[in-house]
Amino acid sequence: MATIAPATEGLTTADGVSLKVSLARANARSRRRALLLVLPLLAFLTVTFVLPILDMLYRGIENSVVPETFTRTTAVIGQWDPDTAELPPESIYEAMVGDLKEAYASKSLGSAARRLNYDLPGVSSLFRKSGRRANRIEEGPYKDALLKIDKAWGEPAIWRLLHRESGAYTASYFLAAVDMRYDEQGDVAPQPEYRQIYLRLFGRTLMLSVVITVLCLLLGYPVAYLLATLPLRTSNLLMVMVLLPFWTSLLVRTTSWIALLQTQGVINDLLVLVGIVSDDGRLQMMHNQVGTIVAMTHILLPFMILPLYSVMKTIPPSYMRAARSLGANPLTAFVRVYLPNTVAGIGAGSILVFILAIGYYITPALVGGQSGTLISNFIADHISTTLNWGLAAALGVLLLGIVLALYFLYDKIVGIDNMKLG
């Protein structure tokens, strides 16, 4: 059976090159040009987004400071069985004395002691004190010498901690991020109740983010509808008012809410003036969840209005007129015809506001107080104050994982393809 040759078979270009080869070369050049155009953006995203996430993930498991500071001890402590009730042999005590002397002289003992103190509070002072006095130990028995400095060196929990954290990587940060820890026997166990804070913080962050998203939707939908349906001159004026907050510093907007919401603030003064509340019964709207919800709803509201407006603007007004002409009342026409056409904008605005709210930092820090702060505030505190970068990284990775999980859940239920901006 004869085969039909392709239309380009046997054809050549003006320079004698096969047309098929010439088209392949042109396509290759087009792909290379497209790659070169995209390459700067790809490099920018890699440097500013991908690499920081990978670095955060690495810091959540990295534990190099302990093996680098106690090199002799980590090299020999594997000979000791942490499951036994006996203390390590004399050789491990001798290695620890050598490490204490060297670390104290190189001024690296403090960082290692601080790292171990995250897992077992109180050991930081033990290592610092022992480092100062280790130079007095010139010969064995080293075990008795360390016990003379502090009797805590006779507790197996110290040595189990060193045995567990002698590797280059650790799971301690991620355990702490979900209110878990290693107990004195080395088993995973819940944190004491007074230290169980992070799961509650994650729950509070999710709850407040959902509340803020719902409030932004309820307040933003009518505004977006007006922007899309009013005459152009009026809608342009309203759009300027929607965009006006972007021309003001976020810090200024947040501090303005402090002046409005505080006990002696403008809102309470007005309520007292009209007799709604008494002067002694002023409302507490600052440094709690109320302040966080009000201030963040105001700040994030434009991020809900703009996606809704861009979708509503594409809905022909004839849809509603057609529904009315077919006998539907205004409410039925809105629910059955208009609202389904705005689902894409609702999804875009909701996911945008929710993701922004879940990672907000400045506003909760200023107006949230103890009950209105989010997990992002504790991440910043561990980075800048406690210097526990490992725990901050672990909390950040978990927060990123929660956002991605909710994103994929949204994709399964609603569909990312249905999220449009017009």
Query: Do 360 and 255 reside in the same domain of the chain?
Result: yes
| Residue 237 predicted with pLDDT over 80 | yes
> Which is more confident, 184 or 342?
342
What sign does the CA torsion over 336, 342, 346, 347 have? Answer: positive
* Residue 6 identity (one-letter amino acid): P
CB atoms within 10 A of CB 110: 15
* Residue 247 identity (one-letter amino acid): W
The answer, yes or no, to whether the previous bond of 141 is cis (omega within 30 of 0) is: yes
| Residue 416 predicted with pLDDT over 70 | no
Query: Do 206 and 143 reside in the same domain of the chain?
Result: no
Query: Do 290 and 356 reside in the same domain of the chain?
Result: yes
Query: Do 279 and 336 reside in the same domain of the chain?
Result: yes
Give the tokens for residue 179: 């209110």
Give the strand pairing for 188-190 and 180-182: antiparallel
Which residue segment(s) compose the domain that 303 sits in?
198-418
DSSP three-state, residue 223: helix
Verdict on whether the full-model pTM lies above 0.85: no
Mean pLDDT throughout 407-414?
78
| Residue 10 predicted with pLDDT over 70 | no
| Residue 419 predicted with pLDDT over 70 | no
> Which domain CATH number covers 367?
1.10.3720.10
Q: What distance, in Å, lies between the first and last C-alpha atoms of the chain? A: 54
> Which is more confident, 20 or 134?
134
Distance in angstroms (rounded) separating the CA atoms of residues 41 and 31: 16
What sign does the CA torsion over 358, 362, 365, 371 have? Answer: negative
Query: Do 48 and 75 reside in the same domain of the chain?
Result: no
Query: Do 246 and 346 reside in the same domain of the chain?
Result: yes
Q: Pick the closest to residue 99 from 185, 91, 281 (CA basis).
A: 91
Distance in angstroms (rounded) separating the CA atoms of residues 26 and 48: 34
Lowest-confidence segment of 3-12, 137-146, 327-336, 346-355 by average pLDDT: 3-12
Distance in angstroms (rounded) separating the CA atoms of residues 402 and 202: 9
Query: Do 338 and 279 reside in the same domain of the chain?
Result: yes
Query: Do 164 and 203 reside in the same domain of the chain?
Result: no
Q: Are 162 and 114 in contact (CB under 8 A)?
A: no
| Residue matched to tokens 């990978």 | 54
For 53-112, what is each residue's pLDDT tens digit?
888 889 999 988 999 999 999 889 888 888 876 888 888 998 999 999 999 898 989 889
- pLDDT score, position 2: 47
Query: Do 275 and 354 reside in the same domain of the chain?
Result: yes
Look over the chain and give the mean of its residue pLDDT values, rounded to a whole number.
Answer: 86
